Amino acid sequence: MKLLFGIFSEDMSQPASLLGHMAITHGWSVDIIFFPDSDDEDAIGEKIEAIKPNLVALSIKTFERRTGVRVARVARSMKVPVVVGGPHVVGAGLEDLRSTGLFNALVTGDGAGIFTDLLDGYRSLDSMVIMGKKHPDKSVYYRRYFSPSQEATIREKKMLEVMLAVGCPYKCHFCATSRKVVPLPTEEVAKEIIAAKKKYGIEMINFLDDTFTYSAKRVTTFRSIMAAHGADFQYFVRSRVDCFNEEIADNLIDMGVEDIIFGTETGSQALLDFMRKDITVEEINRAIGICKDRGIAFNTGLMFGLPRQSRQDLELTFDWVKTQTPENLHFYIFVPFPGTELYDYCVENGHMPTNIDFDDYLSIRAEDENYKGLRNTAGILRGIDYDMSIDYIERIKEFQNERRDRIIMDAAKLADRGRWAIFGGGNYFYTVLERLSTRSWNNVAGFHDYWNEFMHRNYENKISPCDIRELAHNLDTIIVTQHLGSYYRKAIEPMLRQEYGFKGDIVSVSTQGVPRRPNSARVA
C-alpha cells in the first residue's frame, strides 16, 4: 500500500515525518511530497500520478488551506481518497473543509493515536469527522521518516528540527497550539540527535518546542545527557520570558544555545493582557537584560493589526524597541485562526468579514500583481487600521536599519572593490539583501540562499540569485549573514572552503556576538 503525504509550507514537516514513520512500520510505503503554492492542478496531478498512491494524507494550517484543497480536488478527480488533519481542522475551519466534499476523513486533534486504524479502514472512509487522541507510545512522536529530498535538505543545512515536548501549557488567545503538553523521553530524543549526527553530519539543532524552558529540570537533564555523550551542537530554542532566568540562561549557554526567540508580541501591557499572554513588560525587560549580559541574541516577534490596538499601544511598542534594542525582530499581521479565543472575539465583535474566505489567510500569492509580501499585505478584518500598523512596522524597521547599516554597508563597500556575493538563509539574510538593494553595486555577483526558502517573497530585494558553487573560484569576497559562532565554524566555513573551494575573504555582517557566562568560564 502506498501513502502520499502532502506538505505545503516548506520541504520539512513534523506531522508528515512522524506519521510517515508510523505508516512504514505498519507496512505501507510512504512518499512525502512538497506542493508549493505555485503548483497548478496539472503539476499536482503529475506528482500524484508518478506515485500512484492508495491514499493521500494532508496536514493543513489555515494559511495553507488553498493549496491543500487544490491537492485534494486533484486527488479525488483521480479516484484517490484523501484524509486531512492539522491546525485548520477545528471549529469553523473543520466546517469549511467538510463543506468542500473533498475529504474522505477529517481528523481533529492529535492524529497519532488513530492513524493506523485510519490506514486499515481507509477504503470505507466517507466524509467522516474523526476525533484524534494521543498515542500511548511516546516514541511515535520522535521517531521520524524523511524523504530523500528532506534528507538532502538536512545534509545541506546541517540542521535538524527536534522536539522535547509536544504542545504548550499556556493559553494565549491568538494561538492554535494544543494546550496539553506531552513530554518526550529526554534520553531517547538525545539518542535520535546523536544518530542524526552520524547519518547527516548535522551541527545545529532547532528545537520546535513552543516553550523549551518550560521545565528547568528538563533543560539541565538534556544538557547533562548530551555532555555525557560528548555531543557538541549549536541550538536554537524558543522560550517565554516567565520561564527564563539566570540559571537557565547559563545552562543554555553551556549546552550550546547562541540565540533564543521569545514570544513577546508587543510593548503594551494592555495588549499583553488582552491576548492573555500572562506576562508583563517588566518580565520581558528582565529577560532581555539576562540575554544581553551573556551575549545571547534576543529574538522576538511583534504582532500588529490586533483588535483594540491603539496608536498608544504602537507607540509603547516602538519605545520598547528603541529602549531595549532586541537583536532580531519578526513582524506579524494578526490573523484570527479557527478554534482560538480571538477568532471567536472577532466574530462576536463584528471584525470578521461576511462570507469569510480562508484562502485569504496568508496565502503566498506571489503571482498576484497586488501582492506586496506578507509584511505589507493588509489583513482581512473589519475596523482595523492596517495603515497605522504598517506605518509603525516601517518606522521600527527604519530604526533597526540605522543600527545595522553601518556594519552591512561598510562590509559591502570594501567587498565591492572586487567580485563578491552574499551567502546565507533566513530572515536576517533577506533583511541584508533588502538593505543592500537600496544602493547600486558594481561588482556583486548575486546571492546564494543555501536554505532555499520562499522567505524572499516577504522582502523587497533587487539582487539576483546565483550559485556560489559555480562562482567560488571567481569571487574575492563572500559576505555571510551568520554570526561567527559554532555553526559557522563547523558548518558554514567548511561548506564554503572545502565543498565549494572558495579561497577568498569571508566577512560576517551579523550584529550578533558569541554568548558567554558573565565573569566565569564555560562549564563542561
What is the reported pLDDT for 367?
Answer: 42
Q: What is the average pLDDT value for the chain, to the nearest integer?
A: 90
Is residue 338 very low, low, confident or very high in pLDDT (cuts 50, 70, 90)? Answer: confident
- C-alpha of 357 from chain center: 24
Rounded to an integer, what distance in angstroms lies between the CA atom of residue 159 and that of residue 202?
A: 5
Look at residue 519 in the predicted model and tell me its pLDDT.
60
Minimum mean pLDDT among 58-62, 294-298, 409-413, 515-519: which range? 515-519
- CA 329 vs CA 266, 431, 473, 508: distances in Å: 11, 11, 35, 19
- 377 in the same domain as 413: no
pLDDT in tens, 318-331: 999 999 999 889 88
**Structural domains in the chain (count):** 3
* Better-predicted residue by pLDDT, 502 or 87: 502
How many CB atoms lie under 10 A from the CB of residue 268? 23
CA distance 68 to 75: 11
Same domain for 224 and 272, yes or no, is: yes
The reply to whether 176 and 309 lie within a common domain is yes
β-pairing verdict for 505-508 and 444-449: unpaired
Note whether residue 395 is domain-resident.
Answer: no
Question: Taking Cα atoms as reference points, which of 464, 480, 388 lies closest to residue 428?
Answer: 480
103-113 confidence digits (pLDDT tens): 999 999 999 99
The CATH number of the domain holding residue 339 is 3.20.20.70
pLDDT of residue 90: 87
Percent of the chain residues topping a pLDDT of 70: 93
For residue 107, give its domain range: 2-131
pLDDT at residue 369 in the model: 46
| Average of per-residue pLDDT across 347-366 | 72
| Predicted local confidence at residue 375, as pLDDT | 45
Question: pLDDT at position 378, please?
Answer: 53
Q: Which residue has the higher pLDDT, 447 or 335?
A: 447
Q: Quick one: 168 and 288 in the same domain?
A: yes
Q: SS3 of 171, please?
A: coil
- The pLDDT confidence band at residue 363, using thresholds 50, 70 and 90, is very low
Query: Residue 355 — very low, low, confident or very high, per pLDDT cuts 50/70/90?
Result: confident
Mark whether 451 and 366 lie in a shared domain: no
Closest CA to 15 of 51, 52, 66, 68: 68
Length of the chain in residues, anyone?
Answer: 524
Phi, psi at residue 38, to the nearest 5°? -75, -10
DSSP letter for each residue of 314-332: HHHHHHHHHHH--SEEEEE
| Confidence category of residue 467, pLDDT binned at 50, 70, 90 | very high
Decide if 163 is inside a domain: yes
Model pLDDT, residue 514: 67
CA angle 357, 460, 370 (to 5 degrees): 35
What percent of the chain is modeled with pLDDT above 90? 73
Same domain, 164 and 251: yes
pLDDT at 458: 58
pLDDT band with cut points at 50, 70 and 90 for residue 136: very high
pLDDT of residue 92: 84
Any domain includes 520: no
Confidence category of residue 357, pLDDT binned at 50, 70, 90:
confident
- Indicate whether 167 and 27 sit together in one domain: no
What are the cell numbers at 59? Answer: 496536514
CATH number for the domain including 452? 3.40.50
pLDDT at residue 334 greater than cutoff 70: yes
- CB-count burial class (<10 Å; 0-12, 13-18, 19+) for 321: buried
User: Which letter does DSSP use for residue 465 in this model?
Assistant: B
Average of pLDDT values for 382-399?
92
Across 16-37, average pLDDT:
95
Least confident of 147-151, 282-286, 454-458, 508-512: 454-458
* Whole-number Å distance between alpha carbons of 29 and 472: 40
User: 382: helix, coil or strand?
Assistant: coil
Q: How many CB atoms lie within 10 A of CB 442?
A: 7
Degrees to nearest 5, angle at CA 24 with 20 and 29: 90
The answer to whether residue 167 sits within a structural domain is: yes
The pLDDT assigned to 522 comes to 39
- CA dist., res. 7 & res. 11, Å (int): 7
The Cβ of residue 161 has, within 10 Å, a number of other Cβ atoms equal to: 17
Per-residue pLDDT at 383: 92
| Rounded CA separation 222/187 (Å) | 7
Judge if 265 and 349 occupy the same domain. yes
Per-residue pLDDT at 37? 82
**What is the model's pLDDT at position 63?**
81
Q: Are 281 and 365 in the same domain?
A: yes
Cβ atoms 96, 343 nearer than 8 A:
no
Whether residue 516 lies inside any domain: the answer is no
Say which residue the cell 572558495 belongs to. 502
Asked if 205 and 160 touch (Cβ cutoff 8 Å), the reply is yes
Q: Are residues 369 and 432 in the same domain?
A: no
DSSP state at residue 380: S
Nearest residue to 134 (alpha-carbon basis) of 85, 181, 186, 82: 181
Per-residue pLDDT tens over the stretch 415-453: 999 999 999 988 889 889 999 999 999 999 999 998 876
User: Quick one: 319 and 204 in the same domain?
Assistant: yes
Exposure of 487 by Cβ count < 10 A (0-12 exposed, 13-18 middle, 19+ buried)?
Answer: buried
Average confidence (pLDDT) over 362-382 = 53
Q: Give the pLDDT of residue 10.
A: 66
- Looking at the fold, whether 122 and 251 belong to one and the same domain comes out as no
pLDDT digits (tens, 9 = 90+) for 204-218: 999 999 999 988 899
Q: Are 482 and 454 in contact (CB under 8 A)?
A: no
Task: Name the residue with higher pLDDT: 176 or 487.
Answer: 487
Look at 177 and 172; give whichever has higher pLDDT. Answer: 172
Its pTM stands at 0.87
Residue 379 has a pLDDT of 63
In a domain, 21, yes or no: yes
What's the rounded Cα separation, in Å, for the pair 229 and 376?
A: 47
For position 22, which CATH number holds? Answer: 3.40.50.2000
pLDDT at residue 364 in the model: 44
- Confirm whether 7 is domain-assigned: yes
User: Is residue 423 included in any domain, yes or no?
Assistant: yes
